[in-house]
Amino acid sequence: MFLIRIQGSEPIFIQIKNQVNKFIEIGVLKPNDKLPSVRNLAQELGVNPNTVAKAYLELEQEGIVYTLNKKGVFISEGNATDNHSNQLIQEFSQITEICLKNKISKDELIKLINEMEK
């Protein structure tokens, strides 16, 4: 299910996080679905279990997943998509701020967004 690029420029734990978020977004993972155990996913991907644990920890801190002791890691209900949306809005705000600082006008940004909707 998970595919990572060991030689890629993006850290492996980020790749795992992004894939979990993408799987939620496209409906492959639904609320209360269980993720593979840290050990199993690490073995499957050929990475250190600490890498998978770091990805799961960050996902939990973001409210995307929750952990039940001795049972595993599960997809959170409802707020997973909300948190993903909030993250996208935050990233968009940062990009917008950079654009404005680099003299790209508000009108130009709005025009670009409107063109994307077509």
d(CA 60, CA 41): 17
Q: Residue ranges per domain, the chain?
A: 12-77, 81-116
Which pLDDT score is estimated for 23?
Answer: 94
Compute the mean pLDDT over every residue in the chain, rounded to the nearest whole number. Answer: 89
DSSP calls for 24-91: HHTTSS-TTPBPPPHHHHHHHHTS-HHHHHHHHHHHHHTTSEEEETTTEEEEPSSHHHHHHHHHHHHH
pTM recorded for the entire structure? 0.66
pLDDT of 75 > 80? The answer is: yes
Confidence tier at 66 by pLDDT (50, 70, 90): very high
Q: For the residues 16-44, what does the mean pLDDT come to?
A: 94
pLDDT of 20 > 80? The answer is: yes
Neighbours of 115 (CB within 10 A): 8
CATH of region 12-77, choose from 3.30.70.580, 1.10.10.10, 1.20.120.420, 3.90.950.20: 1.10.10.10
